[in-house]
């Protein structure tokens, strides 16, 4: 291969942890924001053999798996290795190389952790985050989250935002420059460079390098409020289908997923078991959506079957959108029809499916909330059938909310906080604890982390930590 610049500018990542394996990822991009669409990442149109190693120790003296993978221009020279044959609930280290000797030309080393065995009752510590609009601030919350070394991170959507630089940015809301020329993403090249811009951030790189991620997407990975194959704004559907396919491909190319896009789609709803403690069900609320249905028939059938079959103590729906009813002050319609409030019959089928230990984790609204899921949200005396924890954003600016009015109008909602942050959960067969963490500012680096609130779950009710 012709001499390249350092190819690991976008770092390394791992994801989709299973009891016996994990996906490890990198992408060769010596010029990550290169302007030539024919040379993504500044790479020539050649197939590159990438060597990889997985070891038990950070010094790579006890290598347990190694091999090679092909990096092709068709996939922007990204590499997704399905590492198998590992031990459950075990920490591993991994790295890549395109030169020789290996150690002298290696990528930074990543750390990962496999999921526990199916029979495990060991506690699960996971974090969840969402909404990390690059131009809105620093990823300080991710840095603090990484310091806590969770077993796994769930990213609940808006990993990128497709927007270009606004003509008149609101004060304090445009504190970092997008990749040049700062336009909205529509083509594959533009989406690729948007991910590359995000992934050159040192805090985001460090978070991927230290912890395996499971990601679900929301709308901004493609376009604001899109529905299935419809753009949501009445523009040309054929052009939107091409744009969506480009966005899905770039998403795959930059995240440690187990599956590739095919037929312009990408299978994203999936089950990630963590022993007998938690079954995580990652949902796709965008790809199959119509005005009448959020999940599509096949995904709903899959979800209901998985919920019924699960013998784990907790069934966790990992998905972007506010699940509980949230009546909003102001002019009609008084609910967000883009969230589950737009699909109340589907929500009621899930809430009333008789699931023991139902927990929904969500994002999207750029503020932190917590609430109880009701059998019938219109009837305050109806049974509680689960709980919901809504994370704030990592950076994305919050829309102004009259939180007191919303809490008063929705007695099943118990908590609000308006700062950027992340959420840490510690889950066992006996109990569930959620801790909200926040930072006071994101326009500059270095904000300290704050404990905001904590809750345990008892009989589908939220019990606040006593101070
Ligand atoms: Fe968002």
The values of phi and psi at residue 457, to 5°, are -115, 125
Q: State the distance from the centre of ligand 1 to the C-alpha of 131, rounded, in angstroms.
A: 4
Q: Are 362 and 388 in contact (CB under 8 A)?
A: yes
Q: What CATH fold (topology level) applies to the domain 1-114?
A: Immunoglobulin-like (2.60.40)
Q: What percent of the chain has pLDDT over 70?
A: 99
Where the chain has pLDDT below 70, the residues are: 1-3, 467
Q: What is the SS3 string spanning 397-448?
A: CCCCCCHHHHHHHCCCEEEEECCEEEEEEEECCCCEEEEEEEECCCCCCCCC
Which is it for strands 21-27 and 12-18: parallel, antiparallel or unpaired? antiparallel
pLDDT at 233: 85
Around Cβ 456, how many Cβ atoms within 10 Å? 14
Contact in structure between 83 and 36 (CB atoms under 8 Å): no
- b/e code 267-288 from CB counts within 10 Å (16+ = b): ebbbebbbbbbbbbbbbbbbbb
- Residue 25 CB: number of other CB atoms within 10 A? 26
From ligand 1's centre to the CA of 157, what distance in Å? Answer: 7
d(CA 336, CA 41): 39
Predicted confidence at residue 234, as pLDDT, reads: 85
CA–centroid distance, 396 to ligand 1, in Å, is: 6
Give the span between the Cα atoms of 74 and 424, in whole angstroms. Answer: 37
Domain chopping of the chain, boundaries: 1-114, 117-464
Using the mean position of ligand 1's atoms as its centre, give its distance from the Cα of residue 328 in Å.
18
| CB-facing half-sphere around the CA of 273: CA atoms within 13 A | 18
Q: Quote the ligand 1 centre to 160 CA distance (angstroms).
A: 9
191: nearest Cα among 248, 261, 113 = 248
pLDDT of residue 223: 96
Centre of ligand 1 to C-alpha 187, Å, is 21
CA 55 to chain centre: 26
- Say yes or no: domain 117-464 is CATH 3.60.21.70: yes
DSSP 349: H
Q: How far is the CA of 462 from the centre of ligand 1 (A)?
A: 25
**Is the Cβ–Cβ distance between 31 and 122 less than 8 Å?**
no
Decide: helix, strand or coil at residue 19.
coil
Query: 76 C-alpha vs ligand 1 centroid, how far in Å?
Result: 26
On the question of a common fold for 1-114 and 117-464, the answer reads no
Phi and psi at residue 241, in whole multiples of 5°?
-60, -40
How many Å apart are CA 59 and CA 93, to the nearest integer? 9
Tell me the HSE value of 154 on the side-chain side, using a 13 A CA sphere.
Answer: 30
Is residue 89 within 8 Å of residue 50, measured between CB atoms? Answer: no
CB 367 within 8 Å of CB 402: no
Give the pLDDT of residue 4. Answer: 78
* Cβ neighbours, 10 Å, residue 229: 17
Name which of 258, 153, 276, 170 is nearest 215 in CA terms. 153
4: exposed, middle or buried (Cβ count in 10 Å: 0-12, 13-18, 19+): middle
Could you tell me the distance, in angstroms and rounded to a whole number, from the CA of residue 390 to the centre of ligand 1? 12
Residues 361, 378: Cα–Cα separation, whole Å? 22
- Distance CA(222)–CA(161), nearest Å, equals 8
User: What is the Å distance from ligand 1's center to 297 Cα?
Assistant: 26
Q: 347 C-alpha to center of ligand 1: Å?
A: 21
| Cβ burial, residue 305 (10 Å; 0-12/13-18/19+) | exposed
For ligand 1, the distance from its centroid to the CA atom of residue 367, given in whole angstroms, is 10
């Amino acid at each position: 291969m012709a001499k390249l610049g350092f190819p690991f500018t976008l770092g390394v990542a791992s994801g989709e942890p299973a009891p016996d394996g994990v996906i490890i990822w990198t992408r060769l991009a010596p010029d990550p924001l290169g302007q030539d669409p024919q040379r993504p990442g500044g790479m020539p149109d050649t197939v590159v053999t990438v060597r990889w190693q997985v070891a038990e120790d950070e010094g790579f003296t006890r290598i347990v798996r190694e091999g090679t993978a092909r990096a092709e221009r068709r996939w922007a020279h990204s590499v997704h290795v399905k590492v198998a044959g590992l031990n459950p609930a075990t920490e591993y280290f991994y790295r890549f190389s395109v030169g020789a000797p290996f150690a002298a030309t290696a990528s930074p080393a990543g750390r990962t952790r496999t999921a526990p065995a199916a029979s495990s009752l060991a506690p699960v510590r996971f974090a969840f985050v969402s909404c990390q609009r690059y131009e809105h601030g620093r990823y300080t919350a991710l840095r603090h989250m990484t310091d806590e070394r969770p077993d796994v991170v769930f990213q609940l959507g808006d990993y990128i935002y497709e927007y270009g630089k606004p003509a008149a940015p609101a004060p304090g809301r445009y504190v970092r420059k997008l990749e040049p020329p700062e336009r909205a993403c529509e083509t594959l090249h533009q989406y690729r460079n948007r991910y590359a811009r995000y992934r050159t951030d040192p805090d985001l790189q460090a978070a991927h390098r230290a912890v395996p991620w499971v990601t679900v997407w929301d709308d901004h990975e493609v376009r604001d409020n899109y529905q299935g194959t419809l753009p949501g704004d009445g523009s040309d559907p054929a052009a939107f289908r091409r744009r969506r396919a480009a966005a899905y491909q770039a998403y795959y190319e930059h995240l440690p997923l187990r599956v590739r896009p095919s037929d312009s789609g990408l299978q994203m709803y999936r089950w990630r078991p963590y022993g007998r403690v938690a079954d995580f069900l990652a949902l796709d609320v965008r790809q199959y959506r119509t005005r009448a249905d959020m999940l599509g028939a096949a995904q709903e059938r899959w979800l209901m079957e998985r919920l019924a079959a699960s013998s784990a103590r907790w069934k966790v729906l990992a998905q972007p959108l506010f699940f509980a009813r949230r009546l909003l002050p102001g002019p009609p319609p008084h609910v967000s029809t883009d969230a589950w409030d737009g699909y109340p019959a589907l929500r009621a089928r899930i809430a009333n499916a008789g699931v023991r230990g139902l927990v929904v984790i969500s994002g999207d609204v750029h503020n932190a909330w917590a609430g109880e899921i009701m059998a019938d949200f219109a009837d305050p005396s109806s049974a509680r059938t689960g709980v919901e924890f809504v994370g704030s954003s990592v950076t994305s600016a919050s829309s102004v909310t009259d939180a007191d009015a919303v809490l008063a109008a929705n007695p099943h909602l118990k908590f609000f906080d308006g700062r950027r942050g992340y959420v840490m959960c510690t889950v066992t067969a006996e109990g569930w604890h959620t801790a909200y963490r926040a930072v006071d500012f994101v326009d500059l680096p270095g904000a300290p982390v704050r404990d905001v609130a904590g809750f345990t779950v008892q009989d589908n009710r939220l019990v606040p930590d006593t101070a």
